[in-house]
């Protein structure tokens, strides 16, 4: 039985390429204005500015915002890390989001089945809340955690365990839904079932060994849960 579901944000609720390609380009351009080598920074972030595509090992895919600050600070050493964190968070909050599927019907269907809903992202919390609000679904979530919310970031299980504790659902009756190995590792460490979706960068062959199921997108989650309940 599944009574709670916690979701990754980028690549799971929102199409990763459409959303974070633009963010990365804007961040690179902004820091180039402060003296960073534009091409070198884009290369370090694993982003092809001309083609608008990410390398599969791009740190943007799974790193927390503070981890990205550590990476990018070397290109603008004259800028304080706190200032750089604020810049990246502001750019994140303003980044246009491209939902992977129409989100409200998905989450309303899950709430109708009695599920508690949470979000665990390696982004910071304020942009995460802004993105959910912009998509018209923040009110459906019982828990929202960013990497700065006090429980760390993925692949550690802190955010997921905090969610389970907050909503009063045993982790074994919960599912972690995400598009990356970091998400699935966090779910495993928390003792949750794991659902992988293909709206991020990783492919099915990479995710399948670490997931209970691989789905095209979160729109198929309710049907999968219904199947478990029937079984």
Q: Do 41 and 110 lie in a common domain? A: no
- Structural domain boundaries enclosing 36: 17-94
Distance, in Å, from the CA atom of 119 to the CA atom of 134, rounded to the nearest integer, reads 15
pLDDT of residue 63: 87
Contacts of residue 100, Cβ cutoff 8 Å, sequence gap at least 6: 11, 12, 13, 14, 15, 197, 199, 217, 218
Domain count, the chain: 2
- Count of beta carbons in the 10 Å neighbourhood of residue 231: 5
> 134: domain CATH number?
3.40.50.1000
pLDDT of residue 125: 94
The secondary structure element, H or E, covering residue 215 is: strand 213-215
pLDDT of residue 130: 93
Could you tell me the two tokens for 106? 């998905």
What are the average pLDDT values for consecutive 10-residue runs of the chain, which has 231 residues? 96 89 92 94 95 90 90 94 92 88 98 98 93 97 97 97 98 97 97 97 96 98 93 76
Last residue within a domain, chosen from 67, 94, 121 = 94
pLDDT of residue 39: 95
Q: Do 133 and 224 lie in a common domain? A: yes
């Amino acid at each position: 039985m599944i009574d709670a579901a916690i979701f990754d944000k980028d690549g799971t609720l929102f199409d990763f390429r459409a959303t974070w390609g633009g963010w990365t380009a804007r961040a690179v351009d902004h820091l180039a204005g402060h003296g960073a080598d534009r091409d070198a920074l884009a290369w370090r972030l694993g982003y092809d500015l001309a083609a608008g595509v990410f390398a599969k090992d791009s740190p943007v895919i799974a790193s927390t915002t503070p981890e990205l600050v550590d990476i990018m600070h070397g290109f603008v050493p004259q800028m304080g890390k706190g200032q750089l964190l604020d810049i990246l968070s502001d750019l994140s909050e303003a980044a246009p989001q491209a939902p992977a599927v129409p989100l409200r019907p998905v989450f309303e269907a899950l709430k109708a089945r009695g599920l508690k809903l949470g979000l665990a992202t390696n982004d910071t919390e304020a942009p995460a809340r802004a993105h959910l609000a912009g998509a018209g679904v923040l009110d459906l979530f019982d828990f929202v955690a960013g990497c700065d919310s006090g429980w760390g970031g993925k692949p550690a299980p802190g955010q997921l365990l905090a969610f389970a504790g907050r909503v009063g659902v045993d982790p074994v009756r919960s599912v972690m839904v995400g598009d990356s190995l970091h998400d699935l590792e966090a779910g495993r460490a928390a003792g949750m079932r794991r659902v992988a979706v293909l709206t991020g960068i990783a492919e099915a062959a990479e995710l399948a060994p670490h997931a209970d199921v691989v789905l095209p997108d979160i729109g198929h989650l309710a049907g999968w849960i219904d199947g478990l309940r029937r079984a």
